[in-house]
C-alpha cells in the first residue's frame, strides 16, 4: 500500500527522515501515527524509527536532546516541532513481566517491528509513502481486528501492560479483539499485578474515555483484567451493571471516576482512599468527590441556591455530562446560569468581612464571628438581605443580639 498524499504532520517531518536517508540510514514513521493516518484519525505524536544508532542520530542533526538514550531515543528539534527518533531495537529477557531488562540496538526494521504490541501498531511508512506491513496489520485495520504481533501469550508474558493497552485500543478504535489475543489476555491477566498502578491507570483512563467504552469495559470484565486493578477484584457484579449504563462515550475524566465510584458503590467514607489507591492527583480527587456530592443531590431533587454555592462551573459542567447516564436530562446553560446568578460566589464577595464585623460590633474574634459571617453569607445567598455594608452590619448586629439572648 502506498499513501499518495501524506498528512501534513508527516510532510512536516519528512526532512528529518530525508536527512537520515541521505546519511545512509533507514528511517520510517512508525507506531500510532501510521495507524491513525490509515484510519483517517487525527495524528498526535509522530514517532520515527531508524537504523542509525543514537550517537549516529546525534551526528546527523544539529539540535538534539537525549531523552532516553539508553533505550535508543533521541529528541530531534526540527523547525518548531520535536520528534522522537528511536533506533531499531529488540528487547530481551523480560524477567519481571514488565519493561525489558535491556534493549539491543539492531539495524533491521523487521526486528524492531516484531517487538511491537499489536499488528496495527507494527506498520512502518517510508519517505516515499510506502507502507511496510510485515504482520498483516493492514488487513487487521481493514477488518477492525486487534491482534497481537506473533504469539499473543508470549507478548503478554514479556510485558503485561500490553493487555491493558489492548483494551484501551478496543475502546478508542472500536476494534474486536482477535480470538487468540483475547484468550491470551484472559490467561495472563494475573500478570497485571506486576505492573505499577500508575501505568495501569494511564491505560484505564484512556479506556474510559474511548468512543467504544462499553465494548472495552465488557472485555475488561470478561478477561478478568479488573481483578488485578486496585480495589476492583471483588466487584465483578457491580462492574457488569456499570457496563450496562455505558451506552455513550464519557466526556471527561472526573465524570469517568465519578461514575465508577458511584456505580461500584464505594461509600462516601472510602471514596478518597479508593481514588488514592489509583494514584490520582489531589486535584482530580477533589473534583471527583465534589461531582459525586452534586450527583447525590441531583438524583433526589433539583439543586437549590445553597447547593450551587458549594459547587463551581467545572463541577456543574461535569454534572451535565454525568446526568444522561442516570437518565436525567439537565441543561448545561441553565446549570451555569443559575450559578452565575448567585449574589455571591465565595465569602470574599460578601460586602463585609471579619474585621468590619469586629470593629462595628466592638468585639474580639471568636466562634461568634465565624457563625455570624456564615449567617450573613447564607442570608445574602437567599436574598434575605442585600449584599451591602450597612444592611449587613445591621443584620449581623441583630443576629448577635439574638445569639446572646439565647445564650443567656
Annotated binding-site residues for Mg(2+) read: 45, 47
Cα–Cα distance for residue pair 111/88, rounded to 1 Å: 7
322 binds, among Mg ion, ligand ATP, none (CB under 5 to 8 A by kind): none
Q: Does 50 bind ligand ATP (CB under 6 A)?
A: no
Cα–Cα distance for residue pair 120/273, rounded to 1 Å: 38
Cα distances from 191 to residues 100, 210, 228, in angstroms, run: 15, 24, 8
162 binds, among ligand ATP, Mg ion, none (CB under 5 to 8 A by kind): ligand ATP
86 binds, among ligand ATP, Mg ion, none (CB under 5 to 8 A by kind): none
Q: What are phi and psi of 377, to 5 degrees?
A: -55, -50
Residue tagged 487487521 (cell numbers): 140
Residue tagged 454534572 (cell numbers): 319
CB-nearer residue toward ligand ATP: 112 or 262: 112
Q: Does 159 bind ligand ATP (CB under 6 A)?
A: yes
CB-nearer residue toward ligand ATP: 43 or 183: 43
Q: Which of 38, 85, 148, 161 binds ligand ATP (CB under 6 A)?
A: 161
Per-position DSSP letters for 105-116, written without gaps between them: E-S-HHHHHHTS
CB-nearer residue toward ligand ATP: 136 or 272: 136
Annotated binding site: 32, 35, 45, 47, 116, 159, 162, 165, 168
User: By rule CB under 5 A, what count of residues binds Mg ion?
Assistant: 2
Neighbours of 340 (CB within 10 A): 10
Smallest gap from residue 159 Cβ to ligand ATP (A): 5
Q: Is the distance from CB of 358 to CB of 369 less than 8 angstroms? A: yes
Binders of Mg ion among 42-81, rule CB under 5 A? 45
Cα distances from 383 to residues 196, 336, 348, 398, in angstroms, run: 52, 19, 17, 17
CB-nearer residue toward Mg ion: 32 or 137: 32
For the chain, the helix, strand and coil percentages under 3-state DSSP, each to the nearest 5: 55, 10, 30
Q: What's the DSSP call for residue 41?
A: P
Cell of 243: 457496563
Cell of 69: 538514550
Q: Does 203 bind ligand ATP (CB under 6 A)?
A: no
Q: Does 84 bind ligand ATP (CB under 6 A)?
A: no
Give the pairing type, strands 47-50 and 81-87: parallel
Q: Does 32 bind ligand ATP (CB under 6 A)?
A: yes
Binders of Mg ion among 16-35, rule CB under 5 A? 32
Smallest gap from residue 104 Cβ to ligand ATP (A): 15
Cα–Cα distance for residue pair 137/149, rounded to 1 Å: 9
- C-alpha dihedral, 396 to 400 to 403 to 408, nearest 10°: -170
Binders of ligand ATP among 63-82, rule CB under 6 A? none
Annotated binding site for CTP: 32, 35, 116, 159, 162, 165, 168
Q: Does 231 bind ligand ATP (CB under 6 A)?
A: no
Q: Does 304 bind Mg ion (CB under 5 A)?
A: no
Q: Does 116 bind ligand ATP (CB under 6 A)?
A: yes
Q: Is the distance from CB of 54 to CB of 62 less than 8 angstroms? A: no
117 binds, among ligand ATP, Mg ion, none (CB under 5 to 8 A by kind): ligand ATP
Please give the residue whose beta carbon sits closest to ligand ATP in the complex: 32
Residues that bind ligand ATP (CB under 6 A): 31-32, 44-45, 47, 116-117, 121-122, 159, 161-162, 165
Point out which residues bind Mg ion (CB under 5 A): 32, 45
Amino acid at each position: 500500500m502506498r499513501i499518495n498524499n501524506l498528512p501534513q504532520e508527516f510532510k512536516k517531518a519528512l526532512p528529518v527522515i530525508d536527512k537520515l536517508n541521505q546519511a545512509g540510514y533507514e528511517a520510517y514513521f512508525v507506531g500510532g501515527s501510521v495507524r491513525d493516518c490509515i484510519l483517517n484519525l487525527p495524528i498526535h505524536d509522530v514517532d520515527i524509527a531508524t537504523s542509525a544508532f543514537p550517537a549516529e542520530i546525534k551526528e546527523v542533526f544539529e539540535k538534539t536532546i537525549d531523552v532516553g538514550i539508553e533505550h535508543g531515543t533521541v529528541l530531534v528539534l526540527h523547525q518548531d516541532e520535536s520528534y522522537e527518533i528511536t533506533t531499531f531495537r529488540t528487547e530481551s529477557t523480560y524477567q519481571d513481566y514488565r519493561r525489558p531488562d535491556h534493549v539491543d540496538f539492531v539495524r533491521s526494521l523487521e526486528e524492531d517491528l516484531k517487538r511491537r504490541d499489536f499488528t496495527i501498531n507494527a506498520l512502518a511508512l517510508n519517505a516515499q509513502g510506502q507502507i511496510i506491513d510485515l504482520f498483516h496489520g493492514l488487513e487487521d485495520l481493514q477488518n477492525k481486528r486487534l491482534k497481537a504481533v506473533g504469539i499473543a501469550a508470549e507478548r503478554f508474558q514479556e510485558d503485561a501492560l500490553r493487555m491493558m493497552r489492548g483494551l484501551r485500543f478496543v475502546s478508542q478504535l472500536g476494534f474486536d479483539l482477535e480470538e487468540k489475543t483475547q484468550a491470551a489476555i484472559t490467561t495472563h491477566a494475573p500478570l497485571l499485578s506486576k505492573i505499577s498502578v500508575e501505568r495501569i491507570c494511564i491505560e484505564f483512563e484512556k479506556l474510559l474515555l474511548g468512543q467504544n467504552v462499553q465494548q472495552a469495559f465488557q472485555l475488561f470484565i470478561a478477561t478478568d483484567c479488573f481483578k488485578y486493578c486496585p480495589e476492583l477484584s471483588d466487584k465483578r457484579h457491580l462492574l457488569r451493571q456499570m457496563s450496562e449504563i455505558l451506552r455513550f462515550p464519557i466526556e471527561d475524566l472526573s465524570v469517568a471516576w465519578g461514575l465508577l465510584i458511584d456505580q461500584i458503590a464505594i461509600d462516601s467514607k472510602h471514596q478518597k482512599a479508593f481514588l488514592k489507591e489509583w494514584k490520582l492527583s489531589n486535584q482530580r480527587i477533589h473534583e471527583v468527590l465534589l461531582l459525586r456530592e452534586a450527583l447525590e443531590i441531583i438524583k433526589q431533587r433539583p439543586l437549590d441556591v445553597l447547593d450551587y454555592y458549594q459547587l463551581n462551573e467545572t463541577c456543574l459542567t461535569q454534572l451535565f455530562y454525568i446526568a444522561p447516564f442516570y437518565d436525567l436530562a439537565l441543561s448545561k446553560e441553565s446549570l451555569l446560569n443559575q450559578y452565575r446568578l448567585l449574589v455571591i460566589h465565595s465569602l470574599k464577595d460578601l460586602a463585609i468581612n471579619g474585621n468590619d464585623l469586629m470593629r462595628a460590633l466592638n468585639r474580639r474574634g471568636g466562634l461568634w464571628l465565624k457563625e455570624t459571617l456564615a449567617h450573613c453569607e447564607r442570608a445574602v445567598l437567599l436574598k434575605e438581605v442585600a449584599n451591602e455594608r450597612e444592611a449587613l452590619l445591621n443584620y449581623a448586629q441583630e443576629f448577635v443580639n439574638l445569639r446572646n439572648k439565647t445564650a443567656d
